[in-house]
Copies of this chain bind each other. A is one copy, B any other.
Amino acid sequence: MSLLVFGHKNPDTDSVCSAIAYANLKNALGQEATAYVLGEVRKEAEYALNYFKVEKPAILESAAGKDVILVDHNEYGQSADGLEEANILEIVDHHKLGGIKTDVPLMVKIMPVGCSSTIIYNMYKENNVEVPYEIAGLMMSAILSDTLIFKSPTTTELDKAACKELAEITKVDMEKYAMDMFKYGTSLDEYSIEEIVNMDFKKFDMEGKNVGIGQVFTLDTDSVFAKQDQFLEYINGTDFDLLVLAVTDIIKEGSYLLYKAPDAVIADAFKVDAAQGVFVEGCVSRKKQLVPGLTAAVKNM
């Protein structure tokens, strides 16, 4: 019976690419295996699949009664429906242990590294299996994604080494490729101004003032600022006393701010020379940075 290989629900790039790469390794070792996903592939992974000309895996509806291999997760809650009635043969992951129980011994390889594809790449090496061009491309994409080009604190030397060796196979410029992938993955093209402002929006009462804070994560900041006037028109047209939209760039580790507020309040809140679109270095968390900063500044108003 063919083995089903899949990552977690709401699949990220690592879950998609690790499933394909591990199914391919199994095939190379003589075992029939097929990669699946547990939901729609997001745009970032779509970029990698398109770039390396690999077809999207099919969506798995239920794992019940199947021989399965889990990659990039090891918890029932994150996994396929029917997993309790599946035969789990292997787990390859880089997350904390999630409490799965089995009836029989299995192969489990969990390592505290930044990306599942790093582990899978090393399994290719252990088994002396050559990594095909397109599989190298997918594993490289996964590592660049999970480690944010090695900026994430979860990054290890093993991730860096694996990614560099994979980049030698694909012959692409890792950094440029990653930025293009992130830009495509976080593109806001499909959304209206109203949708972007309200994508992740919360309301606060600060000293009786009605305050709204929206945040979007994107590397596609150009397309936001090309429409800066339209954003401000919409923001200023709202009923909020103060409104801040943070356009957060996780690679630059900071946020660009568009706001309905006196410049002095933004200057006080974030210690910057306030102007529309100002970049606030290090400001990436609404809960830990945006809200406390604004709350203090409103008190000083």
Q: Is the CB of B105 within 8 A of A112?
A: yes
CB contact between A105 and one of B95, B102, B106 (< 8 Å): that residue? B95
* A205 proximity list for chain B (CB < 8 A): none
Q: Is the CB of B97 within 8 A of A106?
A: yes
- Which of chain A's residues 101-130 have a Cβ closer than 8 Å to chain B? 101-112
Interface residues in A, total, Cβ within 8 A? 22
Does chain B have a CB within 8 A of A94? Answer: yes
Report how far A105 CA is from B156 CA in the complex, Å: 13
Q: Is the CB of A94 within 8 A of B99?
A: no
- Which of chain A's residues 58-94 have a Cβ closer than 8 Å to chain B? 88, 91, 94
Q: Which of A96, A97, A112 gathers the greatest number of chain B CB atoms within 10 Å?
A: A97
Q: Is the CB of A109 within 8 A of B112?
A: no
Q: Which of A98, A102, A108 gathers the greatest number of chain B CB atoms within 10 Å?
A: A108
Report how far A297 CA is from B153 CA in the complex, Å: 71
Interface positions of A (Cβ within 8 A of B): 88, 91, 94-112, 154
